[in-house]
Amino acid sequence: MTTAMFVSMLIFFIFSIPIAVSIGFASVTGIQLFGDVPMLVVPKQIFSAIDNFALGAIPFFILAGNMMETGGISNRLVNFAKSVVGGLQGGLGMTCVVTCMIFAAVSGSGPATTFAIGAILIPALVKHGYPVNFAAALQATSAELGVIIPPSIPMIIYGISAEVSIGEMFLAGFGPGVLIGGGLMLFVWCHCKFKGYGKNDHLGRMKFMRATREASFALMMPVIILGGIYGGVFTPTEAAVVAVFYALIVGMFIYREIRLKDLFPILRKSVLSSAVIMFIIANAGMFSYLISRAGVPEMIGGFLRQYLSSPATFLFGVNIALFIIGMFIETSSSIIVLAPILVPVAIKFGIDPVHFGLVMVVNLACGMITPPFGVNLFAACTVAKISVDQIVRELLPFVFTVVACLMVITYCPQISLFLRDLVYR
């Protein structure tokens, strides 16, 4: 049954059937051809996969991100970030990274970050003399921080799948997020020095105090959300609802850029994005149930323990596998399917499940910026109005930078666990 499921899923992928539908069809195919499981299990497991309170955070974080984009919060965050790093050569490129780091602390979504920040910064980068393909590659990669810096939708999904504290996952995400953000900024600075880009990035730069004052309500948003979570005032799911109301109040009554007529398009866009993610989670949950029932996790665990004899080799092998998988399967789906398989093995090797979760999330997030199914890649190309093949050459150095940071995160667990241990231990 398991072989039939994986083979049929690959065939559906080849025929360009959407990932969620492919996973669902593969599950049904396995049951019908070789399984002894009644078909009644299908709707039951689909419902069970999304019948979780923590998953309620996903649509609300998506809605909050869309409200930030429409309500002028994104634009003010860009001005603030530019006031901090815009005076350097390549400062506008670094502004893209810094803005995505701040925006990530609310949105939790890579594609949402790409659209919200890219719509402002990609045209600005091109206007300042950056090649459009470089601008799109930078935006797509920087938006990856949307799923690494908490709150993060993939971290919520990992916490549920691996039965790990979501609060601990969120705290562990800060170190890797800052490391990757810093690595990207260093690369942008060196690249701009070498290529001669961004010599006039200081033009139009707002003074720091003025930018901070204008962005004060926008900057308070992540403070309220994350402070509420770690202060025990509300759960991550409740924090998502607070983020929506805060973005709505600031956008409508303080910045006055959201009007009543804007609400329906914002809600419609958010519902469509949420439905896609939830549909993937539902079908992936059924797929995960069937492979677990077939004993695949135990089989893979035994194989890994036999051929990868140390934690270092296990992590290296898992990183290679996850990087390849992330290129073809959406991050949330991969986590739901793979976390129940890999986490027990990681624990047997003595690897902290929170640290392993960060390795999984960061690695699979690379799939957002790698062909053929990189969602950030498609979003950035849509904003920049270019084709994917035009961006690949400029994208490769960014991918290498992120992978180098991933290796540091993998073999220096304290980067992820320092804050977690400080708060929880």
Q: What pLDDT sits at residue 202?
A: 73
Instruction: Answer for the pair 252, 258: CB distance below 8 angstroms, yes or no.
Output: yes
- What pLDDT is attached to residue 45? 82
pLDDT of residue 301: 63
State the pLDDT at residue 413.
93
Return the closest-CA partner of residue 145 out of 198, 79, 99. Answer: 99
DSSP class per residue in 146-183? GGTSSS-HHHHHHHHHHT--HHHHHHHHHHHHHHHHHH
**pTM for this structure?**
0.76
The answer to whether 362 and 356 have CB atoms below 8 angstroms apart is: no
What would the two tokens of residue 309 be? 């004899």
> Interior CA angle at 287 toward 152 and 58, to 5°?
20
Contact 354, 172 (CB under 8 A): yes
Cα separation of 384 and 34, whole Å?
Answer: 47
State how far the Cα of 399 lies from the Cα of 122, in Å rounded to an integer: 19
| Run of H or E residues at 396 | helix 392-411
Q: Are the beta carbons of 168 and 354 closer than 8 angstroms?
A: yes
Distance CA 85, CA 91 (A): 5
Helices in 163-294 by DSSP H: which ranges? 166-195, 208-214, 216-230, 236-249, 260-293
Q: How far apart are CA 284 and CA 26, in angstroms?
A: 10
Question: What's the confidence (pLDDT) of residue 99?
Answer: 85
Determine what percent of the chain falls in helix, strand and coil, rounding each to the nearest 5. Answer: 80, 0, 20
Selection from 424, 22, 24 nearest residue 230 by Cα: 424
User: What does the pLDDT read at residue 300?
Assistant: 66
DSSP letters, 12-38, are HHHTT--HHHHHHHHHHHHHHHT--S-
In angstroms, the CA 158 to CA 240 distance is 17
Element at 321 (helix H, strand E):
helix 311-328
CB 211 within 8 A of CB 188: no
Selection from 174, 101, 177 nearest residue 143 by Cα: 101
Q: What is the pLDDT of residue 178?
A: 93
The first and second tokens of residue 160, run together, are 């549920």
Mean pLDDT per block of 10 residues along the chain (425 residues) reads 79 77 83 77 82 74 80 82 82 87 73 76 84 90 86 86 87 92 93 84 80 86 79 77 88 89 90 79 77 69 72 90 79 80 87 94 87 73 80 89 95 92 80
Evaluate whether 251 touches 73 at the Cβ level (below 8 Å).
yes
pLDDT at 372: 62
Query: DSSP class of residue 252?
Result: I
